[in-house]
Structure 1
Protein backbone atom coordinates (compact mmCIF):
# COMPACT_ATOMS: atom_id res chain seq x y z
CA UNK A 1 0.00 0.00 0.00
CA UNK A 2 0.85 3.62 -0.38
CA UNK A 3 1.73 5.49 2.78
CA UNK A 4 0.74 9.16 2.94
CA UNK A 5 2.70 11.43 5.19
CA UNK A 6 0.75 13.71 7.51
CA UNK A 7 2.15 17.24 7.21
CA UNK A 8 3.15 19.19 10.28
CA UNK A 9 0.52 21.88 11.11
CA UNK A 10 3.32 24.43 11.46
CA UNK A 11 4.35 23.85 7.84
CA UNK A 12 0.86 24.51 6.50
CA UNK A 13 0.34 28.05 5.32
CA UNK A 14 -3.00 29.49 6.38
CA UNK A 15 -4.04 32.86 4.96
CA UNK A 16 -4.59 35.63 7.50
CA UNK A 17 -8.23 36.06 6.46
CA UNK A 18 -8.90 32.38 7.17
CA UNK A 19 -6.91 32.21 10.41
CA UNK A 20 -9.00 35.03 11.88
CA UNK A 21 -12.13 32.98 11.29
CA UNK A 22 -10.78 29.94 13.12
CA UNK A 23 -11.80 30.07 16.78
CA UNK A 24 -10.24 27.35 18.88
CA UNK A 25 -11.72 26.58 22.30
CA UNK A 26 -9.75 28.04 25.21
CA UNK A 27 -7.50 25.67 27.04
CA UNK A 28 -8.39 25.05 30.65
CA UNK A 29 -5.59 24.48 33.09
CA UNK A 30 -5.88 23.15 36.59
CA UNK A 31 -5.41 25.95 39.17
CA UNK A 32 -2.22 25.63 41.22
CA UNK A 33 -2.49 24.01 44.61
CA UNK A 34 -5.45 21.78 43.74
CA UNK A 35 -4.69 18.06 43.35
CA UNK A 36 -6.28 16.28 40.38
CA UNK A 37 -9.34 14.23 41.20
CA UNK A 38 -10.55 11.12 39.49
CA UNK A 39 -14.05 11.27 38.05
CA UNK A 40 -16.33 8.43 39.13
CA UNK A 41 -17.67 6.41 36.24
CA UNK A 42 -21.36 5.67 35.99
CA UNK A 43 -22.72 2.12 35.99
CA UNK A 44 -21.84 0.28 32.76
CA UNK A 45 -19.33 2.87 31.60
CA UNK A 46 -16.18 1.40 30.00
CA UNK A 47 -12.89 2.99 31.04
CA UNK A 48 -11.25 4.79 28.10
CA UNK A 49 -8.01 2.81 28.55
CA UNK A 50 -9.87 -0.50 28.20
CA UNK A 51 -11.97 0.47 25.17
CA UNK A 52 -10.82 -0.34 21.69
CA UNK A 53 -12.59 2.74 20.30
CA UNK A 54 -10.50 5.14 22.37
CA UNK A 55 -6.82 5.53 21.96
CA UNK A 56 -5.20 6.32 25.27
CA UNK A 57 -6.48 9.07 27.58
CA UNK A 58 -8.78 11.84 26.33
CA UNK A 59 -7.92 15.42 27.31
CA UNK A 60 -11.63 16.37 27.36
CA UNK A 61 -12.22 13.88 30.19
CA UNK A 62 -9.55 15.61 32.27
CA UNK A 63 -11.10 18.99 31.58
CA UNK A 64 -14.54 17.70 32.64
CA UNK A 65 -13.10 16.42 35.89
CA UNK A 66 -11.48 19.77 36.56
CA UNK A 67 -14.74 21.62 35.87
CA UNK A 68 -16.66 19.29 38.18
CA UNK A 69 -14.05 19.79 40.88
CA UNK A 70 -14.33 23.56 40.54
CA UNK A 71 -18.12 23.40 40.75
CA UNK A 72 -17.94 21.21 43.83
CA UNK A 73 -15.54 23.60 45.54
CA UNK A 74 -17.72 26.60 44.65
CA UNK A 75 -20.75 24.86 46.13
CA UNK A 76 -18.79 24.12 49.30
CA UNK A 77 -17.84 27.81 49.56
CA UNK A 78 -21.49 28.84 49.13
CA UNK A 79 -22.58 26.44 51.86
CA UNK A 80 -19.90 27.78 54.19
CA UNK A 81 -20.90 31.40 53.54
CA UNK A 82 -24.58 30.59 54.11
CA UNK A 83 -23.81 28.86 57.40
CA UNK A 84 -21.73 31.82 58.58
CA UNK A 85 -24.55 34.36 58.02
CA UNK A 86 -26.53 35.70 60.99
CA UNK A 87 -29.59 33.56 61.69
CA UNK A 88 -32.49 35.35 63.43
CA UNK A 89 -35.27 33.57 65.33
CA UNK A 90 -38.68 33.65 63.63
CA UNK A 91 -40.73 36.73 64.50
CA UNK A 92 -44.43 37.50 63.93
CA UNK A 93 -45.47 39.34 60.82
CA UNK A 94 -45.66 43.15 61.03
CA UNK A 95 -49.37 43.87 60.96
CA UNK A 96 -51.27 47.15 60.78
CA UNK A 97 -50.23 50.23 62.68
CA UNK A 98 -46.87 51.20 64.11
CA UNK A 99 -44.43 48.27 63.99
CA UNK A 100 -43.17 47.34 67.44
CA UNK A 101 -40.75 44.51 66.56
CA UNK A 102 -38.75 43.82 63.40
CA UNK A 103 -38.63 40.41 61.72
CA UNK A 104 -35.16 39.91 63.21
CA UNK A 105 -36.38 40.74 66.72
CA UNK A 106 -34.85 44.22 66.84
CA UNK A 107 -36.63 47.48 67.55
CA UNK A 108 -37.70 49.48 64.47
CA UNK A 109 -36.49 53.04 64.05
CA UNK A 110 -37.61 56.02 61.97
CA UNK A 111 -35.55 57.21 59.02
CA UNK A 112 -36.09 59.82 56.31
CA UNK A 113 -36.08 58.79 52.66
CA UNK A 114 -33.53 60.60 50.51
CA UNK A 115 -34.41 59.04 47.16
CA UNK A 116 -35.45 61.02 44.11
CA UNK A 117 -38.94 59.49 43.93
CA UNK A 118 -39.97 60.00 47.58
CA UNK A 119 -37.68 62.60 49.14
CA UNK A 120 -38.31 63.47 52.78
CA UNK A 121 -40.83 60.67 53.40
CA UNK A 122 -40.33 59.01 56.77
CA UNK A 123 -40.33 55.24 57.12
CA UNK A 124 -39.66 52.49 59.66
CA UNK A 125 -36.52 50.42 59.21
CA UNK A 126 -34.05 48.41 61.31
CA UNK A 127 -30.44 48.83 62.45
CA UNK A 128 -29.57 45.45 60.91
CA UNK A 129 -30.97 46.28 57.48
CA UNK A 130 -27.58 45.83 55.75
CA UNK A 131 -26.94 42.24 56.85
CA UNK A 132 -28.80 40.74 53.88
CA UNK A 133 -31.72 39.37 55.88
CA UNK A 134 -35.40 40.39 55.80
CA UNK A 135 -36.23 43.43 57.95
CA UNK A 136 -39.15 45.78 58.45
CA UNK A 137 -39.74 48.58 55.95
CA UNK A 138 -42.97 50.54 56.34
CA UNK A 139 -43.92 54.10 55.53
CA UNK A 140 -44.72 56.17 58.59
CA UNK A 141 -47.80 57.89 57.07
CA UNK A 142 -49.29 54.49 56.11
CA UNK A 143 -48.84 53.30 59.68
CA UNK A 144 -50.55 56.47 60.99
CA UNK A 145 -53.56 55.97 58.72
CA UNK A 146 -53.89 52.34 59.81
CA UNK A 147 -53.75 53.36 63.47
CA UNK A 148 -56.40 56.05 62.92
CA UNK A 149 -58.74 53.60 61.20
CA UNK A 150 -58.22 51.11 64.03
CA UNK A 151 -58.97 53.82 66.61
CA UNK A 152 -62.14 54.82 64.78
CA UNK A 153 -63.33 51.22 64.74
CA UNK A 154 -62.55 50.81 68.44
CA UNK A 155 -64.33 54.07 69.30
CA UNK A 156 -67.40 52.97 67.35
CA UNK A 157 -67.47 49.66 69.21
CA UNK A 158 -67.23 51.46 72.55
CA UNK A 159 -70.04 53.82 71.55
CA UNK A 160 -72.30 50.92 70.64
CA UNK A 161 -71.48 49.26 73.94
CA UNK A 162 -72.33 52.45 75.86
CA UNK A 163 -75.70 52.64 74.09
CA UNK A 164 -76.37 49.02 74.94
CA UNK A 165 -75.48 49.52 78.60
CA UNK A 166 -77.62 52.66 78.74
CA UNK A 167 -80.54 50.60 77.47
CA UNK A 168 -79.86 47.95 80.09
CA UNK A 169 -79.73 50.62 82.77
CA UNK A 170 -83.54 50.74 82.61
CA UNK A 171 -83.56 47.42 84.45
CA UNK A 172 -83.24 49.17 87.80
CA UNK A 173 -86.78 50.67 87.86
CA UNK A 174 -88.19 47.50 86.29
CA UNK A 175 -86.52 45.42 88.95
CA UNK A 176 -87.91 47.62 91.71
CA UNK A 177 -91.40 47.46 90.25
CA UNK A 178 -91.18 43.70 89.93
CA UNK A 179 -90.08 43.49 93.54
CA UNK A 180 -93.18 45.43 94.63
CA UNK A 181 -95.45 43.15 92.60
CA UNK A 182 -93.77 40.13 94.08
CA UNK A 183 -94.39 41.42 97.61
CA UNK A 184 -98.06 42.06 96.83
CA UNK A 185 -98.46 38.58 95.36
CA UNK A 186 -96.78 37.07 98.38
CA UNK A 187 -99.16 38.91 100.75
CA UNK A 188 -102.20 37.79 98.72
CA UNK A 189 -100.91 34.25 98.77
CA UNK A 190 -100.54 34.29 102.54
CA UNK A 191 -104.06 35.70 103.05
CA UNK A 192 -105.62 33.24 100.62
CA UNK A 193 -103.87 30.28 102.23
CA UNK A 194 -105.27 31.39 105.59
CA UNK A 195 -108.80 31.65 104.17
CA UNK A 196 -108.56 28.22 102.54
CA UNK A 197 -107.31 26.72 105.79
CA UNK A 198 -110.23 28.21 107.74
CA UNK A 199 -112.78 27.01 105.19
CA UNK A 200 -111.30 23.54 105.22
CA UNK A 201 -111.72 23.38 109.01
CA UNK A 202 -115.36 24.51 108.82
CA UNK A 203 -116.23 22.30 105.86
CA UNK A 204 -118.06 19.84 108.09
CA UNK A 205 -120.68 22.45 108.90
CA UNK A 206 -121.67 22.77 105.27
CA UNK A 207 -120.42 23.79 101.86
CA UNK A 208 -120.51 27.21 100.31
CA UNK A 209 -121.14 27.57 96.59
CA UNK A 210 -120.89 30.27 94.01
CA UNK A 211 -124.29 30.44 92.31
CA UNK A 212 -126.08 32.79 90.00
CA UNK A 213 -128.66 35.15 91.47
CA UNK A 214 -131.15 33.86 88.88
CA UNK A 215 -130.55 30.19 89.71
CA UNK A 216 -134.29 29.70 90.41
CA UNK A 217 -135.04 30.05 86.71
CA UNK A 218 -135.11 26.99 84.52
CA UNK A 219 -131.98 28.00 82.59
CA UNK A 220 -128.42 26.75 83.02
CA UNK A 221 -126.57 28.57 85.80
CA UNK A 222 -123.17 28.35 87.50
CA UNK A 223 -122.69 26.36 90.65
CA UNK A 224 -119.11 26.13 91.92
CA UNK A 225 -117.82 25.05 95.29
CA UNK A 226 -116.31 28.01 97.15
CA UNK A 227 -113.45 26.04 98.68
CA UNK A 228 -112.58 24.49 95.32
CA UNK A 229 -112.54 27.95 93.72
CA UNK A 230 -110.24 29.26 96.43
CA UNK A 231 -107.88 26.34 95.99
CA UNK A 232 -107.76 26.98 92.25
CA UNK A 233 -107.08 30.65 92.89
CA UNK A 234 -104.38 29.69 95.34
CA UNK A 235 -102.68 27.46 92.75
CA UNK A 236 -102.84 30.29 90.23
CA UNK A 237 -101.23 32.70 92.68
CA UNK A 238 -98.51 30.19 93.47
CA UNK A 239 -97.67 29.83 89.79
CA UNK A 240 -97.65 33.59 89.35
CA UNK A 241 -95.41 34.01 92.37
CA UNK A 242 -92.95 31.39 91.07
CA UNK A 243 -92.77 33.15 87.68
CA UNK A 244 -92.14 36.49 89.34
CA UNK A 245 -89.36 35.01 91.46
CA UNK A 246 -87.71 33.45 88.39
CA UNK A 247 -87.98 36.69 86.41
CA UNK A 248 -86.54 38.67 89.28
CA UNK A 249 -83.54 36.35 89.48
CA UNK A 250 -82.91 36.71 85.76
CA UNK A 251 -83.08 40.49 86.00
CA UNK A 252 -80.71 40.50 88.96
CA UNK A 253 -78.23 38.34 87.03
CA UNK A 254 -78.40 40.61 83.98
CA UNK A 255 -78.02 43.67 86.20
CA UNK A 256 -74.87 42.19 87.77
CA UNK A 257 -73.44 41.51 84.30
CA UNK A 258 -74.28 45.04 83.23
CA UNK A 259 -72.42 46.51 86.20
CA UNK A 260 -69.35 44.41 85.38
CA UNK A 261 -69.45 45.62 81.78
CA UNK A 262 -69.72 49.21 83.00
CA UNK A 263 -66.57 48.71 85.09
CA UNK A 264 -64.69 47.28 82.11
CA UNK A 265 -65.89 50.14 79.93
CA UNK A 266 -64.68 52.72 82.45
CA UNK A 267 -61.27 51.06 82.50
CA UNK A 268 -61.06 51.17 78.71
CA UNK A 269 -62.05 54.83 78.62
CA UNK A 270 -59.61 55.81 81.36
Structure 2
Protein backbone atom coordinates (compact mmCIF):
# COMPACT_ATOMS: atom_id res chain seq x y z
CA UNK A 1 0.00 0.00 0.00
CA UNK A 2 2.10 2.90 0.78
CA UNK A 3 5.50 3.93 1.83
CA UNK A 4 4.57 4.30 5.45
CA UNK A 5 4.12 1.38 7.72
CA UNK A 6 2.65 1.38 11.17
CA UNK A 7 3.39 -1.21 13.81
CA UNK A 8 2.15 -1.70 17.38
CA UNK A 9 4.75 -1.15 20.11
CA UNK A 10 5.98 -4.34 21.64
CA UNK A 11 4.96 -5.25 25.16
CA UNK A 12 8.58 -5.44 26.32
CA UNK A 13 9.28 -1.75 25.56
CA UNK A 14 6.03 -0.76 27.30
CA UNK A 15 7.02 -2.50 30.52
CA UNK A 16 10.39 -0.74 30.54
CA UNK A 17 8.67 2.65 30.26
CA UNK A 18 6.25 1.73 33.04
CA UNK A 19 9.08 0.56 35.29
CA UNK A 20 11.01 3.79 34.80
CA UNK A 21 7.86 5.81 35.57
CA UNK A 22 7.26 3.86 38.78
CA UNK A 23 10.90 4.33 39.83
CA UNK A 24 10.72 8.07 39.13
CA UNK A 25 7.52 8.34 41.16
CA UNK A 26 9.12 6.46 44.06
CA UNK A 27 12.12 8.81 43.98
CA UNK A 28 9.80 11.80 43.94
CA UNK A 29 7.90 10.52 47.01
CA UNK A 30 11.17 9.81 48.83
CA UNK A 31 12.44 13.33 48.12
CA UNK A 32 9.12 14.79 49.25
CA UNK A 33 9.26 12.81 52.51
CA UNK A 34 12.83 13.99 53.10
CA UNK A 35 11.83 17.63 52.56
CA UNK A 36 8.81 17.36 54.86
CA UNK A 37 11.02 15.76 57.53
CA UNK A 38 13.51 18.62 57.16
CA UNK A 39 10.65 21.15 57.42
CA UNK A 40 9.31 19.44 60.53
CA UNK A 41 12.71 19.81 62.19
CA UNK A 42 12.97 23.51 61.36
CA UNK A 43 12.30 26.03 64.11
CA UNK A 44 8.82 27.47 63.90
CA UNK A 45 8.02 30.66 65.75
CA UNK A 46 4.40 31.02 66.73
CA UNK A 47 3.04 34.39 65.71
CA UNK A 48 2.29 36.45 68.75
CA UNK A 49 -0.50 39.02 68.80
CA UNK A 50 1.94 41.64 70.03
CA UNK A 51 4.10 41.23 66.94
CA UNK A 52 1.25 41.37 64.47
CA UNK A 53 -0.93 44.23 65.65
CA UNK A 54 0.07 47.59 67.04
CA UNK A 55 3.52 48.42 68.33
CA UNK A 56 5.50 45.19 68.71
CA UNK A 57 6.83 44.73 72.26
CA UNK A 58 8.60 41.41 71.66
CA UNK A 59 9.83 39.65 68.55
CA UNK A 60 8.89 36.10 67.58
CA UNK A 61 12.34 35.04 68.77
CA UNK A 62 11.81 36.67 72.18
CA UNK A 63 14.08 39.70 71.68
CA UNK A 64 12.97 43.25 72.30
CA UNK A 65 12.53 45.17 69.01
CA UNK A 66 14.61 48.25 68.21
CA UNK A 67 13.79 51.42 66.26
CA UNK A 68 15.63 52.56 63.17
CA UNK A 69 15.47 55.10 60.35
CA UNK A 70 15.22 54.12 56.71
CA UNK A 71 17.95 55.66 54.53
CA UNK A 72 16.52 55.49 51.00
CA UNK A 73 15.50 58.32 48.68
CA UNK A 74 11.96 56.93 48.56
CA UNK A 75 11.52 56.85 52.37
CA UNK A 76 14.17 59.14 53.89
CA UNK A 77 14.24 59.02 57.67
CA UNK A 78 11.06 56.98 57.86
CA UNK A 79 11.03 55.14 61.18
CA UNK A 80 10.62 51.38 61.46
CA UNK A 81 10.64 48.74 64.18
CA UNK A 82 12.68 45.57 63.76
CA UNK A 83 14.43 42.84 65.70
CA UNK A 84 18.18 43.14 66.36
CA UNK A 85 18.50 39.50 65.21
CA UNK A 86 16.83 40.10 61.82
CA UNK A 87 20.01 39.26 59.88
CA UNK A 88 20.05 35.57 60.93
CA UNK A 89 17.44 34.57 58.32
CA UNK A 90 14.68 33.46 60.70
CA UNK A 91 11.27 35.04 61.06
CA UNK A 92 11.49 38.35 62.95
CA UNK A 93 9.41 41.46 63.47
CA UNK A 94 9.70 44.31 60.96
CA UNK A 95 7.11 47.05 60.76
CA UNK A 96 6.81 50.67 59.76
CA UNK A 97 6.56 52.78 62.91
CA UNK A 98 3.70 54.97 61.65
CA UNK A 99 1.64 51.91 60.69
CA UNK A 100 2.26 50.38 64.13
CA UNK A 101 1.18 53.59 65.85
CA UNK A 102 -2.00 53.79 63.74
CA UNK A 103 -2.88 50.19 64.66
CA UNK A 104 -2.17 50.91 68.32
CA UNK A 105 -4.39 54.01 68.22
CA UNK A 106 -7.17 52.02 66.53
CA UNK A 107 -6.95 49.40 69.30
CA UNK A 108 -7.03 52.10 71.97
CA UNK A 109 -10.06 53.74 70.33
CA UNK A 110 -11.85 50.38 70.25
CA UNK A 111 -11.09 49.76 73.93
CA UNK A 112 -12.16 53.31 74.79
CA UNK A 113 -15.50 52.94 73.01
CA UNK A 114 -16.08 49.62 74.80
CA UNK A 115 -15.31 51.28 78.15
CA UNK A 116 -17.65 54.17 77.32
CA UNK A 117 -20.39 51.65 76.51
CA UNK A 118 -19.83 49.86 79.81
CA UNK A 119 -19.86 53.19 81.68
CA UNK A 120 -23.12 54.14 79.96
CA UNK A 121 -24.68 50.80 80.94
CA UNK A 122 -23.58 51.27 84.55
CA UNK A 123 -24.94 54.82 84.56
CA UNK A 124 -28.31 53.54 83.30
CA UNK A 125 -28.35 50.87 86.03
CA UNK A 126 -27.47 53.54 88.61
CA UNK A 127 -30.38 55.72 87.46
CA UNK A 128 -32.76 52.74 87.73
CA UNK A 129 -31.50 52.00 91.25
CA UNK A 130 -31.87 55.66 92.27
CA UNK A 131 -35.49 55.63 91.03
CA UNK A 132 -36.18 52.48 93.05
CA UNK A 133 -34.64 54.05 96.15
CA UNK A 134 -36.83 57.15 95.68
CA UNK A 135 -39.93 54.93 95.36
CA UNK A 136 -39.04 52.99 98.50
CA UNK A 137 -38.31 56.22 100.36
CA UNK A 138 -41.71 57.65 99.36
CA UNK A 139 -43.44 54.44 100.41
CA UNK A 140 -41.53 54.43 103.68
CA UNK A 141 -42.33 58.08 104.36
CA UNK A 142 -45.98 57.38 103.51
CA UNK A 143 -45.96 54.47 105.96
CA UNK A 144 -44.33 56.68 108.61
CA UNK A 145 -46.98 59.34 108.02
CA UNK A 146 -49.71 56.72 108.34
CA UNK A 147 -48.27 55.39 111.62
CA UNK A 148 -47.83 58.92 112.93
CA UNK A 149 -51.44 59.74 112.03
CA UNK A 150 -52.76 56.59 113.72
CA UNK A 151 -50.75 57.31 116.87
CA UNK A 152 -51.91 60.92 116.88
CA UNK A 153 -55.56 59.89 116.41
CA UNK A 154 -55.12 57.33 119.20
CA UNK A 155 -53.67 59.91 121.56
CA UNK A 156 -56.43 62.36 120.72
CA UNK A 157 -58.97 59.57 121.27
CA UNK A 158 -57.44 58.67 124.65
CA UNK A 159 -57.30 62.32 125.61
CA UNK A 160 -60.94 62.76 124.68
CA UNK A 161 -61.89 59.62 126.61
CA UNK A 162 -59.92 60.84 129.58
CA UNK A 163 -61.74 64.16 129.59
CA UNK A 164 -65.05 62.42 129.09
CA UNK A 165 -64.21 60.12 131.97
CA UNK A 166 -63.32 63.01 134.25
CA UNK A 167 -66.42 64.89 133.24
CA UNK A 168 -68.61 61.85 133.77
CA UNK A 169 -67.20 61.29 137.26
CA UNK A 170 -67.80 64.90 138.10
CA UNK A 171 -71.39 64.65 136.86
CA UNK A 172 -71.95 61.27 138.49
CA UNK A 173 -72.35 59.30 135.30
CA UNK A 174 -70.70 55.83 135.39
CA UNK A 175 -67.92 55.48 132.79
CA UNK A 176 -68.27 52.46 130.59
CA UNK A 177 -64.98 52.71 128.79
CA UNK A 178 -62.56 53.29 131.68
TM-score normalised by structure 1 residue count: 0.34
Computing the radius of gyration from Cα coordinates, the structure with the larger value is: 1
